[in-house]
Structure 1
Amino acid sequence: MFLRALMSYLLISCLTVPSGFAKSSLTDNIRISSKNLGYDLQYRVYLPDGMTPSHKLPTIYITDGQWYLIQGKFNEVLDREIAAGAIGPVIAIFIDNRNPDDLSEIRRNREFFCKKEYVEFYTKELVPEIDAQYPTQPDRTERVIMGVSFGGINAACFGLMAYPIFEGIAMQSPANDKHVGLMTTLYKEEEKRPLKIFMSVGTLNDNTAAGRRFKRTLVAKGYDVTYKETRQGHNWKNWRPLFDDLLRTFFGPQ
């Protein structure tokens, strides 16, 4: 009797699930061949719960993507924030910094520091591919790029070099004092771009002083800046607790 009732309930439940809906998912690694860089890269895509083909969703591009998934559990934070209604549904693209044919080879040091070919890989190859394959909102105001440490410097580079494609720039503990100092000078001297910026630094063995100077420069220049500090160092104990703040800055109720 119990089994019959259970089967009946499951059948009714299956029949009443709206067509086209799916639970959140994370694709396997997808390979892409870049003409701009001259080699292959790989990435994974997070698709939110309840997404349908008719949706037009914002996107967030995450450098060092495999670390944000393994150490950061960023996809789980997305699940929680979306389920709680703190942010709307968003598609996340996790770009791996490794050679897909030799995972011991990390490429970030030669890709991230304002390398024109790496920027054009995104703007001319990766973003068009994502927009073609998934129900995205193909507008710069609906795209964010984020990164940690050297990836944060990369996000700052994109703010100057790829602002026609990305409005949102998220930097967590951007690199070292020298790199932050150079970006501070560039943002001070360059014409103000139409950007929305999230930036965070730790106060223990992080680039705190350089980060604060960069933040002051951005504010003085008139940028829309959300700035956070934590009593942590240059590590995931600093970065993980700020994921919700970062996501709500760009995708929360306005």
Structure 2
Amino acid sequence: MISIQFTSKCFYNMKNSIQCVIIDDQMFAVDILRNHLLHFPEFSLAYYGTDVYEALRIIESSKIDLIFLDIQMPDMNGLQFLKLCKNKSKFIFTTAYSQYAFDGYENDVIDFLLKPITFERFEKSIAKFQHILQIGSNQETESRKDYILIKGDSKQKYFKVKLQDILYIKGLNNYICVYTTTQSIITYMNLKDFITTLPSHKFCRIHRSFIVSIDQIICVEKDTVKISNEVIPIGSSYKKDFFQLWKLKVL
């Protein structure tokens, strides 16, 4: 059952949908975003309008997943608004002033939409948000399992290895060597297949011959990482993905 109230403040709810808020001091700007969002049926508006205090009340009393927030507003600017509920939701900034882009990235917002906002640009922001949701879901699933089973050098031999104990994995022709805090284990497997058994937010392939545990890295330089007493090279084709993951880890 969906109920819609056509006023400057409009609410409707759908079970199991992604709950959103749109707040802007100009109603025509709100309507543009609302019309864009109608193309994504999995998203539901808990509030849209110009009243920042009503929006805050909704955010405080409900689980809001995503907030589209204007920066230049007379009663309370967007940066002040964000600080009041920063840890409650994800944010996408909307503004006519490009100089606020740096503030957006400083506050870890998902995206910065410069007005006038086209549907094509809006769609890219939604895709970014959905990607972040997927990463969070994968990490939650992966984190439930804190160990892996590694087949040893005989058919009956398996090692139960805690993920937190793995330092790095080295590829050696048709087999790999898993180095842990207490032992090294040789198994007949390749790096490409082995990395699929590991949580993607904790392990990263940084070279055609190496997978490393992000948590075990002692220091990072331009082309190498250090784990325990081992200095491991970062391959040029793996560098971008590694530094993106490393940046998320250290922020």
Q: Which has the higher strand share?
A: 2
Q: Select the structure of larger CA radius of gyration.
A: 2
Task: Name the TM-score class by shorter chain.
Answer: 0.3 to 0.5
TM-score (structure 2 length as normaliser): 0.39
What TM-score, normalized to structure 1? 0.39
* Structure with greater proportional helix content: 1
